[in-house]
Structure 1
Amino acid sequence: MPVFVEAVTEPSPQDRIDLAKIFADAPAWLLTPYADAAALIEAGLANRSLIAGRFNDRLLGAALLQRGSSNWRLSHLCVRKLTRRRGVGARILEESRRLASEAGQDLRLAAPAEQLEAQALAARAHLPLDPI
């Protein structure tokens, strides 16, 4: 399944629908500190940190990639429930790591420290976990 990862800066109406569907499947803890999925999406668009995985013209997964001066942080990674376990999240992670490396930065996973899912993802991806 060729998933292309891209920065989302000017989403089409369909992209906005897809993003809403992606984050509608997110557990409540993943949306923190945003009030809801819409607020997370708008913040990601406003600060140009929203990235997404696309397959056949549809967005299947998304995350925030914050490009800092000392390191880059990937947070709020979520994949639509219908397409989980097909490599979409791994592709977003892999591309984020590649972009950070090209910029000479380390990539860190930002997530609540008490969330076992976040701890497991950080361990599998060999990424340091930045608690939020």
Structure 2
Amino acid sequence: MPVKLEHINQPTPADWADIAKIQADTTDEQLLSSALQHHFEQQGWLIAARFNDRIIGVILGSRNHQTVTLSNAAVRSITQRRGVMHQTIHLLQHWASDLDITIRINTVPETLLPALEKRGFKRTESAWIWQP
């Protein structure tokens, strides 16, 4: 399932509908429209994985100088276990490499630790870090 990476700070009505489906599947309150509006107001953005013009996966992103912090990764339940998040992280690493940006992830579910290690992320005392 090939995905395209997109950085969004102003979702379209169709995007909001897709995000709502992801939020309903995951019950992640940070993906509710009110929480996302606050995230956007704080200069954050949504990193979207698209397939057939629909958002099927998201990650919240925020940038501080040359470091992007990722949080709240989620994928539609009907597309889980198809490599969506792996592809999204891979595409993010290419984007970050082109801009010489460090990627930071503060909290990672145990099930994703091997995938991050495989992608070259290193564990520090407080986060998982990937540097180009």
Same fold per superposition (TM over 0.5): yes
Contact 2:18 2:56 (8 Å CA) reproduced: yes
Structure 2 partner of 1:38: 33
AA matched with 1:23 = Q
**1:13 Cα deviation (Å)?**
1.2
Could you tell me which runs of 5 or more consecutive residues in structure 2 were left unpaired when the two chains were aligned: none
Q: CA RMSD in A?
A: 2.4
> 1:124/1:27 Cα in 2 relative to 1: closer, same or farther (>3 Å)?
farther
**What secondary structure, in the 3-state scheme, does the structure 2 residue paired with 1:111 have?**
coil
AA matched with 2:14 = Q
Measured in 2, the distance between the counterparts of 1:77 and 1:40 equals 15
The structure 1 residue matched to 2:110, chosen from 110, 116, 127, is 116
Number of aligned positions between the proteins: 124
Contact 1:50 1:62 (8 Å CA) reproduced: yes
Give matches, 1:1-132, under 5 Å.
Answer: 1-26=1-26, 34=30, 37-46=32-41, 47-111=43-107, 115-129=109-123, 130=127
1:85-128 per-position Cα deviation (integer Å, ceiling 9, x unaligned): 1221112111211121112122222216xx42353443343313
Measured in 1, the distance between the counterparts of 2:27 and 2:113 equals 15
TM-score normalised to structure 1 length? 0.76
1:48-70 per-position Cα deviation (integer Å, ceiling 9, x unaligned): 42110111111000001222224
Could you tell me which runs of 5 or more consecutive residues in structure 1 were left unpaired when the two chains were aligned: none
Contact 2:61 2:70 (8 Å CA) reproduced: yes
> More deviation in 121-130 or 78-87?
121-130
Sequence identity of aligned pairs in percent? 29
